[in-house]
């Protein structure tokens, strides 16, 4: 646990008692603060009471009187589409509003660091797609290298639940736009921006607000090194803002598909090969085509971002290459769950929107595609350029028939359930093909979350293949 400093003897309100909220309450208490806890959910309140915390109804008009700060969980709106009523009251009163990320960055460093031979470092990863894979890959590479490291944030533990830093340790944090938008302290040593595509637009009042939330990690944080994906104009703009010119190697530009040879430092992937260039010279090259845990151009971009972050921490190219080959991938993200008779079965249940589904469809040449669920606004018409790789689609869930109307002449079958879709795809798949779950839809029509959907797919495949 990271005890929160700066609030000893003071009342601090905590709104939202999920994983990060309870971790925040524990860390505040460990630092000598007096946490006042509330959640609209009776179940969440009961869990807090089971831990021995007293509850305070923060919705009462006078609840924030004398409170030093209000700490809110990421899922609670603080500005758009409208502030939560407790947060709105804090804004009226001038009570500082923060989150666990802000508390972490103000509390992580301690006087004990003065005795360390090597100061600990924080690597943060944000972006629309690939955050989790990039974060986990950086952590995996550090583990292979023998560096003390921890992983937290949007993946693994809450940031305040990790252990205090060791000498030379690296903490790798995945941060969402919800987290970067509100944190009052952001001071990473290395900050990574993967890419940007439309998401959470209601929460940020459009793409401009969404990008601004991501950009805060760099503009407010002042990292020593910026790793920036430049395959969209927003990334190009961010790299331009953070550097003093194309030769400034404090910015490492990353791409999947573009050659980036004219910059101070760049890492890019083309035709399955990763290349590192620095000051006009190629420093290293890695063949990514046989890295089974990172299939497709989108994962090659993740590999480039992780490689760049680890190089900025002083790791050697050969060591990073070795670690890439032992990376198994994350569950539900281009996860190879089985291979039999020349057919691979890939679980990409995390592909809940068109952009992430497109990346999955572009990763393989001949696909038996399982798609559907609770479709999102706009449907899947934008996937048309990816459909030539689809041998046949097996459509499930609430949006199955809507999806069938949007995929044109692509062969398809309305299966409705995962059980039937897996059975039919496995029966018809030929050697060299991939049975791919990439739903392009939310899971809530049939499953509580995308993880349960992916687990069901995996269980059905493994049961069928023995």
CATH 3.40.1190.10, the chain: domain bounds: 108-325
- What is the share, in percent, of the chain residues with pLDDT greater than 70? 100
The pLDDT score that the predictor gives to residue 44 is 93
Is residue 209 predicted with pLDDT exceeding 80?
A: yes
Provide the pairing of β-strand 390-396 with 412-416.
parallel
The pLDDT score that the predictor gives to residue 200 is 80
Cα–Cα distance for residue pair 122/170, rounded to 1 Å:
6
CATH class of 335-465: alpha beta
Binding region: 127-133
Q: Which residues have CB under 8 Å from 311's CB, separation 6+?
A: 252, 267, 276, 317, 320
Is residue 263 predicted with pLDDT exceeding 80?
A: yes
Is residue 141 predicted with pLDDT exceeding 90?
A: yes
Is residue 328 predicted with pLDDT exceeding 90?
A: no
Using one digit for the tens of pLDDT, what is the confidence trace for 449-466? 999 999 999 999 999 997
CATH 3.90.190.20, the chain: domain bounds: 335-465
The pLDDT score that the predictor gives to residue 63 is 96
Q: Is 383 helix (H, G, I), strand (E, B) or coil?
A: helix
Provide the pairing of β-strand 434-437 with 335-340.
unpaired
The pLDDT score that the predictor gives to residue 221 is 84
Kindly report the average pLDDT of the chain as a whole number.
Answer: 95
Q: Give 300's pLDDT tier (boundaries 50, 70, 90).
A: very high
Is residue 154 predicted with pLDDT exceeding 90?
A: no
Q: Give 43's pLDDT tier (boundaries 50, 70, 90).
A: very high
Cα–Cα distance for residue pair 375/402, rounded to 1 Å:
9
Q: Which residues have CB under 8 Å from 162's CB, separation 6+?
A: 1, 2, 150, 152, 171
Binding region for ATP: 127-133
Q: Give 194's pLDDT tier (boundaries 50, 70, 90).
A: very high
Using one digit for the tens of pLDDT, what is the confidence trace for 341-361? 999 999 999 999 898 899 899
* Domain 108-325 is found in CATH 3.40.1190.10: yes
What does 406-439 look like in DSSP terms, one character per residue? Answer: HSTTS-EEEEESHHHHHHHHHHH--TT-EEEE--
The pLDDT score that the predictor gives to residue 139 is 98
Is residue 229 predicted with pLDDT exceeding 90?
A: yes
Q: Give 19's pLDDT tier (boundaries 50, 70, 90).
A: confident
CATH 3.40.50.720, the chain: domain bounds: 11-98
The pLDDT score that the predictor gives to residue 168 is 96
Mean pLDDT computed over 42-47: 94
Query: pTM (2 decimals)?
Result: 0.87
The encoded tokens of residue 400 equal 């199955």
Mean pLDDT computed over 114-121: 96
Q: Give 126's pLDDT tier (boundaries 50, 70, 90).
A: very high
CATH class of 11-98: alpha beta
Cα–Cα distance for residue pair 46/53, rounded to 1 Å:
10
Residue matched to tokens 């971790």: 23
């Amino acid at each position: 646990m990271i005890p929160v400093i700066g609030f000893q003897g003071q009342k601090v309100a905590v709104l939202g008692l999920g994983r990060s909220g309870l971790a925040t309450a524990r860390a505040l208490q460990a630092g000598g603060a007096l946490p006042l806890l509330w959640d609209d959910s009776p179940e969440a309140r009961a869990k807090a009471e089971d831990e021995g915390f007293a509850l305070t109804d923060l919705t009462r008009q006078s609840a924030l009187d004398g409170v030093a700060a209000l700490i809110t969980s990421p899922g609670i709106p603080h500005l758009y589409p409208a502030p939560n009523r407790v947060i709105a009251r804090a804004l009226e009163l001038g009570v500082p509003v923060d989150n666990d990320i802000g508390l972490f960055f103000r509390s992580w460093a301690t006087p004990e660091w003065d005795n360390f031979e090597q100061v600990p470092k924080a690597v943060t990863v944000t972006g629309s797609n690939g955050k989790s894979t990039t974060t986990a890959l950086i952590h995996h590479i550090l583990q292979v290298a023998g560096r003390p490291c921890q992983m937290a944030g949007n993946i693994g533990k809450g940031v305040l639940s990790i252990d205090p830093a060791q000498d030379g340790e690296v903490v790798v944090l995945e941060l969402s736009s919800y987290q970067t938008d509100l944190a009052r302290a952001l001071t990473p040593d290395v900050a990574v921006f993967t890419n940007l595509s439309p998401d959470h637009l209601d929460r940020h009042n459009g793409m401009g607000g969404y990008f601004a939330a991501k950009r805060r990690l760099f503009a407010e944080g002042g990292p020593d090194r910026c790793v920036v994906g430049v395959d969209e104009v927003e990334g190009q703009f961010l790299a331009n803002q953070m550097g003093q010119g194309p030769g400034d190697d404090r910015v490492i530009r990353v791409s999947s598909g573009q050659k980036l040879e004219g910059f101070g430092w760049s890492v890019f992937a083309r035709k399955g090969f990763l290349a590192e260039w620095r000051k006009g010279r190629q420093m290293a090259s890695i063949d990514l085509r046989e890295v089974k845990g990172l299939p497709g151009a989108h994962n090659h971009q993740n590999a480039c971002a992780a490689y760049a972050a680890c190089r900025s921490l002083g790791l050697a190219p050969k060591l990073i290459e070795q670690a890439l080959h032992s990376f198994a991938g994350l569950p539900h993200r281009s996860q190879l769950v089985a291979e039999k008779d020349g057919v691979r079965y890939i679980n990409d249940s995390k592909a809940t929107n068109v952009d992430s589904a497109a990346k999955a469809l572009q990763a393989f040449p001949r696909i038996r595609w399982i798609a559907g669920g609770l479709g999102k606004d706009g449907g899947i018409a934008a996937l048309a350029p990816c459909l030539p790789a689809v041998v046949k689609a097996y459509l499930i869930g609430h949006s199955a028939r809507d999806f069938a109307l949007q995929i044109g002449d692509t062969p398809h079958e309305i299966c409705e359930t995962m059980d039937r879709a897996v059975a039919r795809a496995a029966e018809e798949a030929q050697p060299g093909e991939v049975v791919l779950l990439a739903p392009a839809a939310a899971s809530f029509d049939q499953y509580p979350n995308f993880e349960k959907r992916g687990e069901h797919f995996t269980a059905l495949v493994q049961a069928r293949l023995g």
